Amino acid sequence: VKSMNDSQSSKSHSGMIMLTKITLVNVLLSLPILSNSFTLRNNQVKKVSFLKMSAHKTEIIPVKCHDDEDPVLRAGVAELFKLYFDELFELGCDLGFQGFQNEWIDLPGKYDFGKMGGLFVAVSVPEGAESQKDSKDVVGCVAIRPLDDNCGEVKRMYIRKSHRRNGVGNLLSQCIIDHAWELGYNEIKLDSLERLAGAVKLYENLGFSRIDPYCECPEEDHVCMNLFK
């Protein structure tokens, strides 16, 4: 038989638990959920929201580069391409065999939207800025080029080290996959390296499967993957 003091203590304890739950819910509801949008080739905007403790949002936008209409953005892409090259070189992989050094000079080159390709960048937009037009902090990129009429190849996925592990890679990946299907491709291929464990894991989480090599690469840990529509 419980005493009156025991009953009052139990009620008090239950009340504290309920108050704690309510406080926790209020804290969670107060966390900032930032909207990340990417603009596709047809100028439609798709939005993806996720919980992110940051005063910035990320916008994914297409890069045409034909007439230097946005030299700042073009320079940002060229810088990312060079960072991509330098980071792989530090890991012991020299992309010189692909003629990569010329890519950031000839943008958009093989990734031309008018030639069944595409080039997109992730732009970090600070709080208070209305859009990427108010900030040209280019933090990531991804591209696609045709292998044939039915298959596109994803290339040059790169995220600045300071912006990794916060969803930018996933946003870029979803954007380029959607773009590939809009172009009419039924299959997407890509190649990577086992030493780029984070990238390989991202592709596997997106549904890519490992396949036999479809392109030449001198690296022993070369990985080829594909995804069907």
pLDDT of residue 14: 44
Of the two residues 120 and 8, the one the predictor is more confident about is 120
Q: Which helix (H) or strand (E) holds 138?
A: strand 137-148
Q: Which helix (H) or strand (E) holds 203?
A: helix 197-205
> In the structure encoding, which two tokens stand for residue 226, read together?
């594909």
Which residues on adjacent β-strands are paired with residue 228?
A: 187
Looking only at the bridges linking them, the beta strands covering 187-193 and 151-159 are: parallel
Q: What is the average per-residue pLDDT within 198-205? A: 97
End-to-end CA distance of the chain: 67
**Cβ atoms of residues 48 and 171 within 8 Å:** yes
The total number of residues written for the chain in this structure? 229
Please report, for the chain, the start and end positions of each structural domain, with discontinuous segments joined by +.
36-228
Examine the pLDDT at 56 and tell me if it is beyond 90.
Answer: no
Average of per-residue pLDDT values in the chain:
77
Q: Which fold has domain 36-228?
A: Aminopeptidase (3.40.630)
| Burial letters 183-197, b for 16+ CB under 10 A, else e | eebeebbbbbbeebe
Q: What is the rounded CA–CA span in Å between residue 35 and residue 49?
A: 5
pLDDT in tens, 81-116: 889 889 999 999 887 767 777 777 778 889 999 999
CA 130 to chain centre: 21
Percent of residues, the chain, with pLDDT higher than 90: 48
**Residue type at position 146:** P
